Amino acid sequence: MSRWIIVSNRLPFSYDKATNGLKTSSGGLVTAIRGIKTKKEVLWIGSIPNNVPKKLVRQYRDKDNIKFSFPDLDNELYDNYYNGFCNDVLWPILHYESDSVKFSIDRWEDYKKVNQIFAKHVAKVAKKDDIIWLHDYQLFLVPKLLKEINPELKVGFFLHVPFPSSEIWKQLPVREEILEAVIHADLVGFHDFAYLRHFVSSVYNLLGIHSSLLEIKSPYNNTKLGIYPVSIDTQDFIKKASSKKTLKAIEHYGLNESNRKYILGVDRLDYSKGILYKLEAYQKFLRDNPKYVGKVQLIQIAVPSRTDVPEYIKLRHDVERLVSEINGEFSQIDYIPVKYIFNSVPVHDLMALYRACDILLVTSKRDGMNLVCLEYIAAQAPKSPGVVMLSEFAGAASTLSHATLINPMNIQDTSLKLKDSLELKQAERQRRHGIMYDYLKQYTATSWAAAFINHLENKTLQKGSRLKDIQHPKELDKVKDLFKDEKRVLLLDYDGTLTPIVNNPKDALLRPKMKSLIKKLQSDKNTEVVIITGRDSNFICKQFDGVECYLACEHGAKFYDYKKKKWRNLVSSNKKDWFPQAGQIIKEYTRRTPGSFFEKKNYAIAWHYRNSPQDFGEFQARKLVVDLESGLSHFPVSVILGKKVVEVKSIEANKGYFTQWFISRYAQDGEKIFAIGDDKTDEDMFDALDRKAVTLKVGTPENTKANHFIEKQSNVSNLLKELFL
């Protein structure tokens, strides 16, 4: 059975001298990965601090039976890699703090060395079918290094932090090397669409590689891209937050006092978390709303982080100075406005705080996702939930639709929203919380991991050995033998298969040589040719004038039986209901998109954008798909995004349905089937056929259900001759 190999900089525990055992560490990545539930065997590879006895790690079994493994790393080397390059170069640049970057060649060299050690270790333990999932910026170079050792490995990379605008990333001296290494992976994932967009534009601006937002085609790999917002083990948080231990802790700390409201902050003490903005907004709130003095308290957990780095020492000093200032200004004998804890707290205390506090205030300047706000939502009592105030600059802002969003740099606005949130009516709190709570119950850390791994598995499966190159001499002979002297049906797509793709669809005429080849094929008594195309019948009739073969036009909506000399209409639904509405939407896009045009068929409308500016065209096409899908959601239509074309068509006009219909009525028992096509619509045809059929994709060997491929359209005619004449 294939395993998941998770690779992160550190393994998720530290050494507890008192018990001579291992203690689980806290942190976003650890919370997310430990929240995953899977039946697969999981091996987690990461480094361990020097004081951890190696034997303990080898014997350690996690709650879900995860196994652990670690590379050997020299202390000084690790320090230069981790504190030197990861924390002093990558972390600030990824969080838009380029002034804090302290780049040096030595640090970069050590970063490379450690990535090399990781790659060697992973390649050594990985078996053939294992899925390798690399985590975060500490391992940016590992995708390339792994593929160099073994190109067959399935490698995914997930970034837990933001990817900045290309204008920021450009400032990094080794910007190209890192991008080039990452795009060796088979799949690269981000929390948020903005990070993906920034990454793609950096790849374009710095490496000159043009790509869509779904895939980067480079000389190294065709790298899929995806958005996978991380999540948590929601049920676990729900359970812990309502446990006896948590409720006891709430009572013990007096957090259930009815005459006081609590605002909570839980952050690592890091400049990216914007703790100073939070304190300033709170100070302003107290100044502007004296009636709340004595009635509200901010509890701020500031988890120590990178405590020996000067910036962090200064940040701690600034935070603590402001805490003292607020406390000096507003404290009373029995009241402290800010309870500040420079430490991490045990998990049940954290749960008690989540459960009891009325507001969670997240003021990050930049934050990849922010798990604290997800945990807080899961921990609320649904009858009387608190309010999440969330920075727009946290990735979570894109998924938590009903949080109160704030720009933490706007102190006045945050202070006003604090007041509104404290006064929000219970029914409205319930409504907002309910929506986010339901989302988290369904979308958990397991869903996050499954989405990423499934995408990676599909991608690599398509790339795998299942798909054969039909031009390989051995394979060609095999297929030839299969069809030799047998009765056969040839299902042939038109555009991109029998003719090359051209700028104007009207110019894609059937060339005389191809026409005579099809005539020859059809004249063999063993062969039936079916042209199966999205084109309308007028156009196809002109191209195949004088050829006696079956014609399936408009994806099979109209079928010509050449033996009976009859056209049949295979679509039963009424197109009048949806056609005008679809036409209106498409016309509007044609007006707004230079170079685009549309084509009306009997059961479909196609919008072509092959002559439009590339990026804009792609963008408009995606938007058009969404508009058509939502505008026509009650009609029996399907919308497809093909090669430079968006097509809306009757659901029954589908090459898959047609193929099934045709085979069941026209093919004889034991007849051999051959199908060839280049487009998304041809995938339905491949899918409808059983495994014994030879299905052939024209184009690159990926994203297909075909069992064979031929890279170039220009080789199709020779291949057909070779196989069937």
Stretch that binds ligand GDG, among 125-133, 167-175, 366-374, 691-699 (CB under 6 A): 366-374
Site for ligand GDG in 497-556 (CB under 6 A): none
C-alpha distances out from residue 691 to 349, 464, 528, Å: 58, 16, 20
Site for ligand GDG in 287-316 (CB under 6 A): 301, 303
Select 130 or 367, whichever has its Cβ closest to ligand GDG: 367
- Least Å distance, CB 348 to ligand GDG, is 9
Span interacting with ligand GDG, options 281-289, 326-334, 367-375, 399-407, rule CB under 6 A: 367-375
Q: Tell me the C-alpha distance between 137 and 169, whole Å.
A: 13
Taking the least distance from each CB to ligand GDG, the nearer of 142 and 372 is 372
DSSP one-letter code for 88 = I
359-362, strands of its sheet edge to edge: 338-341, 296-303, 261-268, 359-362, 387-391, 404-406
Q: What φ, ψ does residue 668 adopt, rounded to 5°? A: -95, 160
Choose one: 29-37, 38-46, 50-58, 441-449; the region binding ligand GDG (CB under 6 A). 29-37
Residue type present at position 663: I
User: Which one among 88, 130, 367, 493 touches ligand GDG, defined by CB under 6 A?
Assistant: 367
State which residue, 304 or 464, has the beta carbon closest to ligand GDG: 304
- Any contact of residue 355 with ligand GDG (CB under 6 A)? no
- SS3 call for 48: coil
**Minimum gap (Å) between residue 114 Cβ and ligand GDG:** 20
User: Measured from the CB atom, is 342 or 597 closer to ligand GDG?
Assistant: 342
Sequence-distant (6+) residues with CB within 8 A of 280 are 322, 411
Size of the site for ligand GDG (CB under 6 A): 24
Neighbours of 584 (CB within 10 A): 10
Answer yes or no: are the C-beta atoms of 187 and 158 closer than 8 Å. no
Q: In DSSP terms, which residues pair with 302 in a beta bridge?
A: 267
- Closer residue to ligand GDG, CB minimum distance, 181 or 353: 353
End-to-end Cα distance, the chain: 44
CB of 27 to ligand GDG, least distance (A): 4
User: Residues with Cβ < 8 Å from 321, sequence gap 6 or more?
Assistant: none
What's the CA gap between 602 and 438, in Å, rounded? 43
Match 């006003």 to its residue by tokens: 416
655 touches ligand GDG (CB under 6 A): no
Residues 131, 216, 266, 400: which binds ligand GDG (CB under 6 A)? Answer: 266
Question: Any idea what DSSP says for residue 367?
Answer: B
Measured from the CB atom, is 22 or 632 closer to ligand GDG?
A: 22
The interface region with ligand GDG, picked from 37-45, 78-86, 343-351, 499-507 by CB under 6 A, is 343-351
Per-residue tokens: 344: 């991490």
Inter-residue contact 696 to 676 (CB < 8 Å): yes
By C-beta, is 445 or 719 nearer to ligand GDG?
445
Nearer to ligand GDG (CB atom), residue 177 or residue 392:
392
Closest separation in Å from C-beta 346 to ligand GDG: 6
Choice between 179 and 360, CB closer to ligand GDG:
360
Answer for the pair 616, 648: CB distance below 8 angstroms, yes or no.
no
Site for ligand GDG in 191-250 (CB under 6 A): 230
Nearer to ligand GDG, 31 or 543 (CB): 31
DSSP codes of every residue in 248-261: HHHHHTTTT-TT-E
Q: Which is nearer to ligand GDG, 187 or 518 (CB)?
A: 187
Cα 159 from Cα 473, distance rounded (Å):
42
Residue 160 binds to ligand GDG (criterion: CB under 6 A): yes
Is the distance from CB of 71 to CB of 141 less than 8 angstroms? Answer: no
CB of 70 closer than 8 Å to CB of 46: yes
Cα separation, 677 vs 490, whole angstroms: 11
Residue closer to ligand GDG (CB basis): 6 or 490: 6
Q: Mark 379-409 as b/e (b = at least 16 C-beta within 10 Å).
A: bbeeeebbbbbbbebbbbbebbebbbbbebb
488 binds ligand GDG per the rule CB under 6 A: no
Cα 353 from chain centroid (whole Å): 32
Binding ligand GDG by CB under 6 A: which of 8, 9, 31, 537? 31
Scanning 21-29, 433-441, 490-498, 534-542 for contacts with ligand GDG by CB under 6 A, the matching segment is 21-29
Among 114-122, 364-372, 447-455, 671-679, which window interacts with ligand GDG (CB under 6 A)? Answer: 364-372
Does 435 bind ligand GDG (CB under 6 A)? Our answer is no
Residue range at the interface with ligand GDG (CB under 6 A); choices 27-35, 254-262, 567-575, 594-602: 27-35
The residue sitting closest to ligand GDG, measured at its beta carbon, is 28
CA 396 – CA 195 distance, rounded (Å): 13
Q: Binding segment for ligand GDG among 24-32, 140-148, 219-227, 711-719 (CB under 6 A)?
A: 24-32
Q: Min. distance of Cβ 229 from ligand GDG in angstroms? A: 9
- Contact between 7 and ligand GDG by CB under 6 A: the answer reads no
Instruction: Write down the least CB distance from residue 397 to ligand GDG, Å.
Output: 11
Main-chain phi, psi angles of 700, to 5 degrees: -70, 150
DSSP label at residue 293: T
Q: Please identify, using beta-carbon distances, which residue of 399 and 681 lies nearer to ligand GDG.
A: 399
Contact 336, 343 (CB under 8 A): no
- The nearest distance, CB 382 to ligand GDG, in angstroms, is 20
Among 88, 233, 280, 375, binds ligand GDG (CB under 6 A): 375
Q: Does 264 bind ligand GDG (CB under 6 A)?
A: no
Q: Which residue from 8, 11, 22, 28 is in contact with ligand GDG, where contact means CB under 6 A?
A: 28
**Considering just the CA atoms, what is the radius of gyration of the chain in Å?**
31
Binding ligand GDG by CB under 6 A: which of 166, 370, 537, 654? 370
Collect all residues with Cβ–Cβ distance below 8 Å to 209 and sequence separation of at least 6: 183, 203, 216, 217, 218
Candidate ranges 20-28, 292-300, 378-386, 458-466; the one touching ligand GDG (CB under 6 A): 20-28
Q: Which residues pair with 567 in a beta bridge?
A: 560
In the complex, the smallest distance separating the C-beta of residue 136 from ligand GDG, rounded to whole angstroms, is 7
SS3 call for 364: coil
Give 26 or 116: the residue with its C-beta nearer to ligand GDG: 26
Q: Given the rule CB under 6 A, which of 1-9, 344-352, 648-656, 691-699 is the region that contacts ligand GDG?
A: 344-352
Residue 42 or 351: the one with the smaller Cβ distance to ligand GDG is 351
| Chain center to CA of 460 | 16
Site for ligand GDG contains 27 (CB under 6 A): yes
d(CA 45, CA 284): 47
What is the spatial distance between Cα 586 and Cα 201, in angstroms, rounded to a whole number? 28
CB 451 to ligand GDG: min, Å? 14
- Residue among 539, 452, 549, 545 nearest 491 (CA): 549
Span interacting with ligand GDG, options 63-71, 137-145, 342-350, 577-585, rule CB under 6 A: 342-350
* CA–CA separation, 655 and 602 (whole Å): 15
Q: Rounded CA gap, 5 and 271, in Å?
A: 32
Write down the least CB distance from residue 626 to ligand GDG, Å: 27
446 scored as a contact of ligand GDG (CB under 6 A) = no
Handedness of CA 318, 324, 329, 335 (dihedral sign): positive
Binding-site ranges for ligand GDG (CB under 6 A): 26-29, 31-32, 160-161, 230, 266, 268, 301, 303, 344-345, 347, 350, 367-372, 375
